[in-house]
Amino acid sequence: MKPAELACLSVLEIGRICHEEGLPSGVLNIVTGLGHEAGAALASHPDINLVVFTGSVQTGRNVMRAAAENIVPVLLELGASHRISSCLMWLWKPSPHCW
C-alpha cells in the first residue's frame, strides 16, 4: 500500500496495529513517498500483478500507462477529491519460496 503523502501517519499506524495483532510479515507492505516517485515505481514494477488506485482522473491515466507496460490489471476509482482517500495498493506476485 502506498498512501497519499498527507495520509502516511494514519496508514503507518494501521500497519503497526496489524503487526501487533499478528498479521504475518509481508502480508501488508506500506511504502511512503511521493506519488510521482514511489507510486510510479510501484505501478511499473515487474513483480506487481494488480494495481488498485483511488484518486484523480489524470493520475489514474498515469497509473494505467505504467501498469500497461507489464500487462498488469488495474482497478481504478477516480474523481476522489479528498487527498486522504487516495492510495495505491499492490499485490505482489507470490514467490515459490513462500510455500
CATH number at 9 reads 3.40.605.10
The grid coordinates of residue 10 equal 494514519
Rg of the chain in Å (alpha carbons) = 14
* pLDDT tens, residue by residue, 31-57: 888 888 888 888 888 888 888 888 888
Is residue 41 helix, strand or coil?
helix
pLDDT-flagged residues of the chain (< 70): 80-99
* Cell numbers for 79: 474523481
Strands 74-78 and 2-3 turn out to be: unpaired
Instruction: State which residues form the domain around 49.
Output: 2-98
pTM (2 d.p.): 0.67
What is the amino acid identity at position 16?
R
Query: How many folded domains does the chain comprise?
Result: 1
